[in-house]
Amino acid sequence: MIALSLAEIARAVSGELCLDGSTLTAGSVITGPVHTDSRGVEPGAIFVAKPGEVTDGHLFAPTAVERGADLLIVERHLDLPVAQVIVPDVVVALGALAAEVVTRVRARGRLKIVGVTGSNGKTTTKNLLRAVLERVGPTVAARGSFNNWVGAPMTMLDLSEETRFLVVEMGASGTGSIARLTRLARPDIGIVLNVGLAHAGEFGGIEATTDTKAEMVTDLVETDLAVLNADDPRVAGMAAKTRAEVVWFGQGDAAAVRASDVQATRSGTTFVLRLASGESRTVSFRVLGEHHVTNALAAAAAAERLGVGIDDIVAGLESVARAERWRMEVLGGRDGVTIINDAYNASPDSMTAALKTLAQIREPGMRTVAVLGEMAELGELSGEEHDRIGLLAVRLNISQLIVVGAAARRMHISTINEGSWDGESAFVDTPDAAFELLRDSLQPGDTVLVKSSNSAGLRFLGDRLGDLFS
C-alpha cells in the first residue's frame, strides 16, 4: 500500500484512532500491505478484522499482532498493545481505504483503470489484460477471482505510486453491486463481456442481471471508453446507456476488434486478430476453448485504447497458458488421457461452451467423457437448464456422461430419456464415487471434461484425476 499516516487512514475510513499501548503516534506512517487473513500478516502490515461466514476476524487479531501488524481496523476496541482504528463496519472501511489510495495515486496523473464484468469470463479477461499491460508498464490486477466488496478493494490496495494500470474484476451479488465498486475506483475503460444465466436466481431474472451488468458503463463519461460485446444483444443494448465512446468486440463484421479464421484444437486456439486500427496478426492462443477468444478480443480492445501496440498485445495473449486455476485447466497426459478441469464455476452458458469445446477437440476414434455437476444459483430456471445441458451432451455425441450429485440428477434423466443416443450416462451421488467409476473405466486416449459450480466440489475430483494420469 502507498504510505499513509495513521491519522490519514483513520480520516479516510471515518474511524476513531486509538493508540493505547502502541509505540506509534498519529503521524506514524504505514507502508505495509493490508490483510484480512491473520496467517498472511507480516511486520508493518494492517490487519482488517473482517467478519466471516462462520467466524469473526476479531478472534484472530492477537495472531496478527504476534506476527507484527502495526494497525488493526476493527469494529470494537480490543485489549491489545497495537494501534487500532475503530469503525462501524470494517468491510465499508476497507472500501473507503481503497478509494483513498486510488484517489491519491490517480492524482499523480499516470494511473488508468479498467473494470471488467460479465456473467462469464471475467477472471480470464483480467488475466489476459494483465499479461498484455505488464509488457508496457507496472500493472496491478485482481488476485484470483477477487471481485466482490472485499476482494476488489484488496486489489486496489496493492497500488503503488509507480502503478500505471489497475485492472479490477467486478462481480455482482445483486442490483447496485457493480455501481458500488465503480464508485471506489471509477474505470476509464469499462468492459462488459456477456449477460447470461449465471446467478439468475439471485438477481431475480435475466433482465435484472442485464441492468446490474450495465452499471459498469452507465456512469462513464464522454472521455471514457465502453468495451462492449457486439455478439451479445443484451450487452449491445448497453450502448444506449452510456455517455462514453463505444468500441465493439466480437466475431461478426460489426465489431471493430474481431477474430476470424478461428481454429480450436486440444492444444489451444489460433485466430486472426484485427484491431480497431485495422492492423491484424495471427494469434496462437494457448487457453483452451474457442469461447475464450471473446475474452482475448475484449482484452485487446482495452489494451489498444491504452496505447499498447499490436505486437505487445499478441505477445501478451500468447504468453497465457491457462485461463486460471480450475478453469479449462489441462491435466493428465499418461496413456494419452487428457483431463480438462473446469469446475471452479458453471452456468448454462459456460457449461455449453465447455461441452462444445470437448466435442471440438475430440481426436479421431477416441472417446469424450463429460463429468458434470450442479449449476448453482439458477433459481426457478434450474430444472429446465439442467435438462437442456443433458440434451446438449446427446446432440454433441459425447461418448460418456457421468452426472454427480442429486442437484444435477436431471441431466442424467434427460439423457437416458433420449432413446436415439448411443452414448452412456451414469449417475453417482458423490465425487468419490465418480472417481472410483472413472478410475476403472477410463481408456487410453480419452478426453475428460470435469465441470460444475464451485459448490459441487468437482474441482478436487479433477485434480485427483489429473494426478492419477500424470
Per CATH, 4-92 and 329-468 having the same topology is answered: no
How far, in Å, are 3, 275, 277, 301, 466 from residue 248 at the CA level?
39, 10, 13, 8, 38
Show the cell assigned to 456: 459441487
CATH topology of domain 4-92: 3.40.1390
Indicate the DSSP class of residue 361: T
CB 113 within 8 A of CB 166: yes
Q: Which residues pair with 427 in a beta bridge?
A: 403
Can you say which residues are annotated as belonging to the binding site?
Answer: 118-124
* Distance separating alpha carbons of residues 381 and 387, to the nearest angstrom: 10
Residues linked to residue 50 through DSSP beta bridges, in sequence order: none
Q: Which fold would CATH assign to domain 329-468?
A: Protein-Tyrosine Phosphatase; Chain A (3.90.190)
* Bridge partner list, 283: 271
255 and 248 in contact (C-beta within 8 Å)?
yes
292 Cα distance to chain centroid: 13
pLDDT for 201 equals: 54
CATH superfamily of 108-319: Mur-like, catalytic domain (3.40.1190.10)
DSSP alpha helices (H): ranges in 24-118? 61-66, 90-106
Question: Do residues 48 and 153 touch, judged by C-beta distance below 8 A?
Answer: no
Q: Give pLDDT, residue 144.
A: 65
Backbone φ, ψ for residue 407 (5° rounding): -65, -20
pLDDT tens track, the chain, 470 positions: 999 999 999 999 999 999 988 999 999 999 999 999 999 999 999 999 998 777 899 999 999 999 999 999 999 999 999 999 999 999 999 999 999 999 999 999 899 999 999 988 999 999 999 999 999 999 999 876 667 889 899 999 999 999 999 999 998 777 888 999 999 999 999 999 999 865 555 656 788 889 999 999 999 999 999 999 999 999 999 999 999 999 999 999 889 999 999 998 888 899 999 999 999 999 999 999 888 999 999 999 999 999 999 999 999 999 998 877 888 899 999 999 999 999 988 999 999 999 999 999 988 899 999 999 999 988 888 999 999 999 999 999 999 999 999 999 999 999 988 865 666 899 999 999 999 999 999 999 999 999 999 999 999 999 999 999 99
All three cell numbers of 56: 469473526
Q: CA of 231: how far to CAs of 222, 372, 389, 461, in Å?
A: 24, 27, 22, 34
Binding residues for ATP: 118-124
Question: Are 117 and 198 in contact, with CB atoms under 8 Å apart?
Answer: no
How many Cβ atoms sit within 10 Å of the Cβ of residue 212?
23
Domain boundaries, the chain: 4-92, 108-319, 329-468
> How far lies 268's CA from each of 134, 427, 451, in Å?
22, 31, 18
Kindly state the greatest CA–CA separation across the chain.
77
Residue 18's Cβ-side half-sphere holds a number of Cα atoms within 13 Å equal to 18
